[in-house]
Chains A and B, each alone.
Chain A
Amino acid sequence: MTRLQKLILSRLALGILTLFVVSALMFVGIELLPGDLAQQILGQSATPDTLRAFRAELGLDQPPHTRYLDWLSGVVQGDFGQSLASGRKVSDLLGTRLANTMFLAAYAAVIAVPVAVTLGLLAALWRNSIFDRAANIGALSAISMPEFFVAYLLIMLFSIKFGWFPTLARLDTATGLGDALYVTFLPALTLIMVVIAHMMRMTRAAIINVLASPYIEMARLKGVPRWRVVLKHALPNALAPIINVIALNLAYLIVGVVVVEVVFSYPGLGQLLVDAVASRDFPVVQAVGLFFAGTYILLNVAADILSILSNPRLRHGR
């Protein structure tokens, strides 16, 4: 086994271990809660009978480790239990919503990544110019804005003022791809605005960092044009941090999706999670939360591995 394979395996193992710890954390948390979970949810007025029935439904009458193992063996078989609020199976609730959330995140990523990297390259190319300064201030402002502010501004402008796009992004199974792209344009644009700034700034910083090296000076002295220096000499060596920041921002997209889905009442996992938290529907919270956490961890592992792959020195070891 090569060094690289060993590394990938160990990172993956660590990621899975983290997921286990996080999933167990929910069970421990419920256990540590002062008083009884059933009492907390149902309130003081609940009769002993309903309390007992509710405890049996949640499995609270069993010791915590049995409960966790039961739940875990269900999850391995694709069974996440039943929603407390609707009584439906959690896996049924997840199905289409999972696809919707992935669609939205992918839509935003496909546009945001190339635009951000190009803007970052241009800012590095024309460092300290008006364009660079404006991009810098714009990025700093965009990072500081809450997602819902950006979302409502876009709604105000594009749906109310110009009437180009709908204010709500409702999807159903009958919606075709073209319609779906049109209806979800504003939510996707919101996500794009939120992630682009960070990626752009990091791309610029990574390139500028490399531009200080002696071989760049050499290239310039022998008369290579400036854009070629940036593209051919600086970019390959700045690839590792850029790939890293892209992966991290994709991970951030998965999280940013929660707020944006609520603003546009988009039928995705984020909306489901928020509703479930408000009604304290634990099986749903656990399943959706674990899915988000898992995707996030996976993308972080991917970021580590890709940045190693892009660097020959790390790829082949010493």
Chain B
Amino acid sequence: MTLLRTAPPTAIFGMLVLAATLLTGIFAPLVAPYGETEIVGAEYLPWSAEYPLGTDNLGRDMLSRMIYGARNTVGLALLTTGIAFGLGAALGMFAALKGGWVDQILSRAIDVVMAVPPLILALMLLAIIGPSIPNMVGVIAVIYLAPVYRLSRAAAMNVVSLDFVDAAKLRGEGTLWLLRREILPNISSTLVAEAGLRFCFVFLFIAALSFLGIGIQPPTADWGSMVKENATLITFGDVTPLIPAGAIALLTVSINFIADWMLHRASGLKS
């Protein structure tokens, strides 16, 4: 609780928004007035008591799709960040521990991934394997694994050369033990500080891909594709399509506020 009391207003705002989004996502079927893909009326109905945010291009309830979108977009972003972090951190620590040619091969492969702009690489890869949700998660996880790999390798390099790692090696511990019990605990704070920012990137990335029609595919509700599907309304001066776009922006700003505070705290404690 003392932790929360020292938080600046921006961070508290961020945590409130994050909590609200997560709760909405988890309890989506209970909160949403209509089904995710249920067609409830005519197309592009205006806001009313029956349909609080009107209906979309196929006559589905916008509010319900926003609520399910919280579940799909944020859920997939969490999943993707999780995979990228798990694999990236594991490979980074492994490369630092093994050194030599293992490190060389992994690091050069990561260099190639990082040399190409993420969006372009994702588009090229998705053109090969075809756009679908599992493919998208896989491609984005591979792309965002690269920076995590670099970070965890750099952090692990400092730990690998320490005496207690040598002691564990001489004791005859296996690679898995060394990674999990000797290295990971010593670099986890660095990784956690990075996780918030990386989640933001992944979240924005999924939204952008879905907006381009190459990410989350219809009829699944998702904030990025909802903007695209209803974009024509904007030319008539209707703000409805801006709501999912605004939700994306609001959530990313919130997480950035939290991450900023955590980074500030982490650096403040060190000095």
If A255-B119, A292-B117 touch, whether A285 touches B211 (CB-CB below 8 Å) is no
A245 within 8 A of partner (CB) = no
Q: Do B208 and A148 touch across chains, with their CB atoms under 8 A apart?
A: yes
Residues of A within 8 A of B256 (CB): 140, 143-144
Q: Which of B212-271 contact A (CB under 8 A)?
A: 212-214, 224, 227, 231, 234-235, 237, 239, 241-242, 245-246, 248-249, 252-253, 255-257, 260
Q: Do A22 and B211 touch across chains, with their CB atoms under 8 A apart?
A: no
Which residue on chain B has the smallest CB distance to residue A161? B237
A53 within 8 A of partner (CB) = no
B127 within 8 A of partner (CB) = yes
Which residue on chain A has the smallest CB distance to residue B241? A152
The 0/1 profile, CB within 8 Å of B marked 1, for residues 213-229 of chain A is 00000000000000000
| Complex: A147 Cα to B209 Cα, angstroms | 12
B148 within 8 A of partner (CB) = no
| Complex: A25 Cα to B116 Cα, angstroms | 12
Interface size class of B (residues with CB under 8 A): 35 or more
Name, among B118, B124, B131, the residue most crowded by chain A CB atoms within 10 Å (CB to CB). Answer: B124
Distance between A97 CB and nearest chain B CB, rounded to angstroms? 15
The 0/1 profile, CB within 8 Å of A marked 1, for residues 149-166 of chain B is 000000000000000000
Name, among B111, B116, B241, the residue most crowded by chain A CB atoms within 10 Å (CB to CB). Answer: B116
Q: Which of B80-130 contact A (CB under 8 A)?
A: 111-112, 115-121, 123-130
B10 within 8 A of partner (CB) = yes
Q: Do B242 and A282 touch across chains, with their CB atoms under 8 A apart?
A: no
Name, among A149, A153, A252, A255, the residue most crowded by chain B CB atoms within 10 Å (CB to CB). Answer: A149
The 0/1 profile, CB within 8 Å of B marked 1, for residues 138-156 of chain A is 0011011111110011011
Residues of B within 8 A of A25 (CB): 112, 124
Q: Do B117 and A251 touch across chains, with their CB atoms under 8 A apart?
A: yes
B15 within 8 A of partner (CB) = no
Q: Do A274 and B213 touch across chains, with their CB atoms under 8 A apart?
A: yes
Q: Do B253 and A144 touch across chains, with their CB atoms under 8 A apart?
A: yes
User: Which one of A144, A285, A289 contacts B249 once the chains associate, using CB atoms below 8 Å?
Assistant: A144
Q: Do B214 and A296 touch across chains, with their CB atoms under 8 A apart?
A: no
B28 within 8 A of partner (CB) = no
If A145-B252, A254-B117, A277-B123 touch, whether A152 touches B214 (CB-CB below 8 Å) is no
Q: Do B123 and A146 touch across chains, with their CB atoms under 8 A apart?
A: no
Distance between B57 CB and nearest chain A CB, rounded to angstroms? 16
Q: Do A285 and B117 touch across chains, with their CB atoms under 8 A apart?
A: no
Distance between A231 CB and nearest chain B CB, rounded to angstroms? 28
Q: Do A18 and B128 touch across chains, with their CB atoms under 8 A apart?
A: no
Residues of A within 8 A of B213 (CB): 274, 278
| Complex: A292 Cα to B123 Cα, angstroms | 11
Residues of B within 8 A of A239 (CB): none
Q: Which of A256-309 contact B (CB under 8 A)?
A: 258-259, 262-263, 273-274, 276-278, 280-282, 285-286, 289, 292-293, 296-297, 300
Q: Do B234 and A160 touch across chains, with their CB atoms under 8 A apart?
A: yes
User: Which one of B112, B224, B237 contacts A18 once the chains associate, using CB atoms below 8 Å?
Assistant: B112
A33 within 8 A of partner (CB) = yes
Q: Do A259 and B242 touch across chains, with their CB atoms under 8 A apart?
A: no
Q: Do A285 and B127 touch across chains, with their CB atoms under 8 A apart?
A: yes
B204 within 8 A of partner (CB) = yes
Q: Do B253 and A33 touch across chains, with their CB atoms under 8 A apart?
A: no
A46 within 8 A of partner (CB) = no
Distance between A256 CB and nearest chain B CB, rounded to angstroms? 8
Which residue on chain B has the smallest CB distance to residue A289? B124
Residues of B within 8 A of A145 (CB): 248-249, 252-253
Q: Do B231 and A30 touch across chains, with their CB atoms under 8 A apart?
A: no
Distance between B59 CB and nearest chain A CB, rounded to angstroms? 22
A129 within 8 A of partner (CB) = no
The 0/1 profile, CB within 8 Å of B marked 1, for residues 1-35 of chain A is 00000000000000100100110011001100100
Distance between A284 CB and nearest chain B CB, rounded to angstroms? 9
User: Which one of B124, B234, B246 contacts A285 once the chains associate, using CB atoms below 8 Å?
Assistant: B124
| Complex: A109 Cα to B212 Cα, angstroms | 24
A167 within 8 A of partner (CB) = yes
Residues of B within 8 A of A30 (CB): 128
| Complex: A144 Cα to B204 Cα, angstroms | 8
Q: Do B253 and A26 touch across chains, with their CB atoms under 8 A apart?
A: no
Residues of A within 8 A of B112 (CB): 18, 21-22, 25
Residues of A within 8 A of B76 (CB): none
Q: Do A296 and B117 touch across chains, with their CB atoms under 8 A apart?
A: yes
B207 within 8 A of partner (CB) = yes
| Complex: A296 Cα to B120 Cα, angstroms | 10
A40 within 8 A of partner (CB) = yes
Interface residues of A (CB under 8 A from B): 15, 18, 21-22, 25-26, 29-30, 33, 40, 137, 140-141, 143-149, 152-153, 155-156, 160-161, 167, 251-252, 254-255, 258-259, 262-263, 273-274, 276-278, 280-282, 285-286, 289, 292-293, 296-297, 300
**10 closest cross-chain pairs (CB), A and B:** A144-B252, A149-B245, A255-B117, A29-B128, A144-B253, A289-B124, A145-B249, A285-B127, A277-B127, A292-B120
Can you name 17 extra interface pairs (CB under 8 A) apart from A152-B241, A259-B212? A22-B112, A22-B121, A25-B124, A143-B256, A146-B204, A148-B208, A148-B245, A152-B227, A155-B235, A167-B235, A252-B117, A255-B118, A289-B124, A293-B117, A293-B120, A296-B115, A297-B115
